[in-house]
């Protein structure tokens, strides 16, 4: 059923904004969430946390006048319950049904779509280069982007199409000219915002090594090769070829202080190697990834910050709230970074998570082979990113 198909409940039900719900989670409040989506959707992607109790009771269980007692018994009567669904219609109906029975309930505004619209900018205070570096965080999918600005100029790395206006508005608010929009690679978990920003007058940049995958719009953008540099005010961004996750994977060294690694290396894991060439090509890609990490990343000074394009539920933020970590600490904590090549390859191939939802369609969209509107693009990327190898197998004791 669509959101508009649900009748308006007789009982008045308050809504809670996604940002307000996240603030309560971040503050450590004990919360109870009733997720009214189908079980398969719930298992794939839901709001979790150490202080979150999550219950799944699909909306259809509340459609009859007499709701099954077993369903109601699972819902606590002694605390507030926030009901959520995909878009907000089912959750309002379910919350109203529960309110009529005396439960203390509200429902999440716009459901999981609203949750996916949360996008927070956090300053990387550990960054010691020229200018200021912000890390954009999308908690619903763990996507990370970066905005560097200095002396009236700015650059965004790994922008998301869903937040194109946000980057432009933030640049205006900061009084800077957004000069470059740079991608690290052809993403498989979200639709890139580089083309939209380029259309808006920002210079779009993609790795030259990624063009051979079939990028249809490469001649419209700037291509970058290993060693190329961009000046942003007094800061310099250098392209560093780090293939493995994809053949065109390119990291960016921001003023010799932070390496934006895209999907090559994260603060809790390394890249999965199977999204471009599939299972058959994964072993060779894993060996390429090993070489990139050992020869291009781990040779940087130990205090160089690593900032990936994603974080998972197992990632611990730094003191400044960003998902960044000095290389030296990663080497000390992640066994995968100190193994020999054969052991590394065997490890990351042994326990890879499911591939990202709709990854083939997202890749085709980012190559320019599929044309989708903004709503379709947003829907394609809902859910977890799953661009990393298993965190459990890679971390040290």
Tell me which residues are annotated as active site: 85
Closest CA to 167 of 196, 189, 143: 196
**What is the length of the chain?**
397
* Residue 345 and residue 244 in contact, taking contact as beta carbons nearer than 8 Å: no
Residue 270 DSSP one-character state? B
Given the structure tokens 């799953």, which residue do they identify?
386
Q: Residue 362 region, left (φ>0) first, then alpha (ψ -120 to 50), else beta?
A: alpha
Residue 161 DSSP one-character state? G
* Residue 156 and residue 180 in contact, taking contact as beta carbons nearer than 8 Å: yes
Side-chain-facing half-sphere of 280: CA atoms under 13 Å: 1
Residue 388 DSSP one-character state? B
* Residue 256 and residue 265 in contact, taking contact as beta carbons nearer than 8 Å: no
Burial class, 87, CB count within 10 angstroms (exposed 0-12 / middle 13-18 / buried 19+): middle
Q: Residue 91 region, left (φ>0) first, then alpha (ψ -120 to 50), else beta?
A: alpha
Number of helices and strands (H, E) in the chain?
13, 18
């Amino acid at each position: 059923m669509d959101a508009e198909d649900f009748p308006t409940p007789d009982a008045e039900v308050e809504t809670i904004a996604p940002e307000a719900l996240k603030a309560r989670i971040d503050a450590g409040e004990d919360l109870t969430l009733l997720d009214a989506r189908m079980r398969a959707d719930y298992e794939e992607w839901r709001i979790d946390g150490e202080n979150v109790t999550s219950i799944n009771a699909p909306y259809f269980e509340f459609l009859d006048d007499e709701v099954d007692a077993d369903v109601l018994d699972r819902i606590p009567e002694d605390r507030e319950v926030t009901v959520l669904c995909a878009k907000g219609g089912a959750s309002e109906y379910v919350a109203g049904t529960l309110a009529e029975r005396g439960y203390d309930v509200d429902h999440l505004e716009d459901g999981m779509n609203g949750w996916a619209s949360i996008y927070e900018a956090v300053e990387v205070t550990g960054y010691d280069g020229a200018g200021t570096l912000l890390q954009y965080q999308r908690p619903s999918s763990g996507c990370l982007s970066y905005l560097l600005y200095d002396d009236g100029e700015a650059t965004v790395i790994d922008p998301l199409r869903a937040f194109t206006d946000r980057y432009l508005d933030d640049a205006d608010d900061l009084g800077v000219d957004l000069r470059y929009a740079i991608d690290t690679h052809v993403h498989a978990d979200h639709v890139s915002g580089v083309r939209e920003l380029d259309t808006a007058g920002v210079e779009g940049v993609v790795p030259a090594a990624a063009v051979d995958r079939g990028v249809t719009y490469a001649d419209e953008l700037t291509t970058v090769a290993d060693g190329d540099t961009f000046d942003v005010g007094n800061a310099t961004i250098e392209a560093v070829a780090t293939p493995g996750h994809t053949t065109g994977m390119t990291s960016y060294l921001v003023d010799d202080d932070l390496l934006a690694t895209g999907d090559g290396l994260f603060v809790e894991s390394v890249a999965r190697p199977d999204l471009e060439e599939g299972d058959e090509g994964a072993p060779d890609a894993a060996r390429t990834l090993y070489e990139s990490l050992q020869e291009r990343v781990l040779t940087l000074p130990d205090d160089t910050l690593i900032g990936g394009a994603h974080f998972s539920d197992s990632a611990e933020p730094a003191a400044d709230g960003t998902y960044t970590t000095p290389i030296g600490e990663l080497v000390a904590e992640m066994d995968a970074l100190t193994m020999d090549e054969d052991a590394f390859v065997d490890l990351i191939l042994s326990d890879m998570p499911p591939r990202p939802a709709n990854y083939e369609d997202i890749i085709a969209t980012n190559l320019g082979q599929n044309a989708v509107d903004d709503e379709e693009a947003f829907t394609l990327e809902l859910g977890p990113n799953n661009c990393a190898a298993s965190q459990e197998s890679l971390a040290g004791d």
